[in-house]
């Protein structure tokens, strides 16, 4: 009698065991694997800087803001990215690179982020390309008010869903890198109005198109590049300290050997420091997975 009472009110170990056999093949492990396979894969990012020997007055800056969303009615992934560099003749205390990037980021946040959060009203908002142009012009106007002959380079813009829009001036660069090639996105020889085929540079030598570091930022024209985001590929933004010291072939090799954007950025900085310990530079990298889910 006591044994029956104990079995009734005190659960035994065997009674707590749950068999998944009746539900196979949808057992817990299989379900977890299925959910993991269906999860949305997002953009991953990394960055690194080398400030050189004068740590108090760097001439390079970078900016990275990425926003990602999940869910049935998720917002598209979006980001604000940029690198900037002051010219060698600028007063380092003025830090034009930081000023330029901060003004671009402020303008893009003010004009674009609210549109990102308003799904219903996004189609009636200002075109993203115009927003990027406005941000670059706003930064340039602020800088020229205090620096009559400003020397700075800037590559910055927006990532939104399936689109990347970059504004560019000077000798900072943006690259598209995948398993097969490395390609310049920004090229000062391209026309803002023209449509030019991708410029393959895998055999270019370091610093092939610049003869004097003092020429950084002398180009005041702003060019905007709009293109779809890559699949299973990288977007690399960098100041001239990277491509001055490394060939595109070596950049390509290092990025593919590291895979992770953070590790790749650190490896690029390490290699440049080995070549020129006093070189200042900034690198920023985004990786887009092969099955990045489009926004609907």
Does 247 fall in a domain?
A: yes
pLDDT score recorded for residue 235: 96
Q: Using 50, 70 and 90 to split pLDDT, how confident is the model at 47?
A: very high
43 pLDDT more than 70: yes
pLDDT score recorded for residue 208: 38
Average pLDDT over residues 2-12: 51
39 pLDDT more than 90: no
Give dist(CA 199, CA 18) in Å, integer. Answer: 62
What is the residue range of 62's domain? 43-288
pLDDT score recorded for residue 117: 59
Does 221 fall in a domain?
A: yes
State which of 30-34, 84-88, 174-178 shows the largest mean pLDDT. Answer: 174-178
Determine what percent of the chain is predicted with pLDDT higher than 90. Answer: 40
Q: Identify the residue with better confidence: 29 or 180.
A: 180
pLDDT score recorded for residue 92: 54
pLDDT digits (tens, 9 = 90+) for 85-126: 987 655 555 688 999 999 999 999 888 776 665 655 555 567
State which of 32-41, 42-51, 190-199 shows the largest mean pLDDT. Answer: 42-51
pLDDT digits (tens, 9 = 90+) for 241-293: 999 999 999 999 999 998 799 999 999 999 999 999 989 999 999 999 886 55
Q: Using 50, 70 and 90 to split pLDDT, how confident is the model at 7?
A: low
Give dist(CA 240, CA 252) in Å, integer. Answer: 16
Does 24 fall in a domain?
A: no
Among 209, 93, 66, CA closest to 147: 93
Residue ranges with strand state E in 23-135: 44-50, 60-67, 78-86
pLDDT score recorded for residue 118: 61
**Both tokens assigned to 230:** 């890559």
Total number of domains in the chain: 1
Does 32 fall in a domain?
A: no
pLDDT score recorded for residue 199: 33
Is the separation of the CB atoms in 254 and 214 below 8 Å?
A: no
Does 146 fall in a domain?
A: yes
On whether the pTM is more than 0.75, the answer is no
Q: Identify the residue with better confidence: 68 or 97.
A: 97
Residue ranges with strand state E in 201-280: 223-228, 233-238
Is the separation of the CB atoms in 269 and 281 below 8 Å?
A: yes
Does 152 fall in a domain?
A: yes
Question: In DSSP terms, which residues pair with 89 in a beta bridge?
Answer: none
Give dist(CA 122, CA 167) in Å, integer. Answer: 21
Instruction: Provide the CATH number for the domain around residue 208.
Output: 3.60.40.10
Does 294 fall in a domain?
A: no
- Helices 261-275 and 248-258: crossing angle in degrees, nearest 10, is 140
Does 49 fall in a domain?
A: yes
């Amino acid at each position: 009698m006591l044994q029956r009472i104990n079995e009734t009110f005190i659960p035994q170990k065997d009674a707590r065991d749950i068999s998944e056999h009746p539900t196979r093949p949808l057992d817990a492990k299989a379900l977890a694997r299925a959910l993991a396979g269906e999860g949305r894969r997002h953009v991953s990012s990394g960055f690194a800087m080398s400030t050189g020997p004068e740590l108090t007055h760097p001439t390079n800056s970078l900016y990275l803001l990425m926003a990602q969303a999940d869910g049935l009615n998720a917002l598209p992934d979006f980001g604000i990215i940029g690198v900037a560099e002051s010219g060698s003749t600028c007063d380092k205390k003025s830090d034009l690179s930081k000023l330029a990037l901060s003004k671009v980021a402020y303008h893009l946040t003010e004009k674009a982020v609210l549109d990102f959060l308003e799904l219903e009203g996004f189609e009636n908002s200002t075109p993203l390309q115009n927003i990027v142009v406005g941000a670059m012009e706003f930064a340039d106007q602020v800088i020229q008010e205090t620096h009559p002959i400003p020397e700075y380079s800037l590559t910055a813009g927006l990532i939104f869903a399936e689109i990347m829009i970059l504004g560019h001036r000077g000798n900072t660069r943006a690259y598209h890198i995948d398993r097969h090639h490395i390609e310049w996105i920004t090229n000062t020889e391209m026309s803002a109005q023209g449509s030019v085929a991708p410029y393959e540079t895998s055999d270019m030598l370091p610093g092939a198109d610049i003869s004097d570091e003092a020429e950084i930022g002398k180009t005041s024209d702003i060019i905007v590049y709009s293109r779809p985001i890559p699949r299973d590929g990288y977007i690399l933004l960098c100041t001239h300290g990277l491509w001055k010291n490394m060939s595109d072939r070596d950049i390509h090799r290092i990025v593919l050997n590291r895979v992770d954007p953070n590790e790749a950025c650190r490896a690029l900085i390490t290699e440049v420091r080995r070549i020129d310990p006093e070189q200042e530079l900034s690198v920023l990298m985004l990786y887009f997975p092969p099955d990045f889910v489009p926004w609907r």
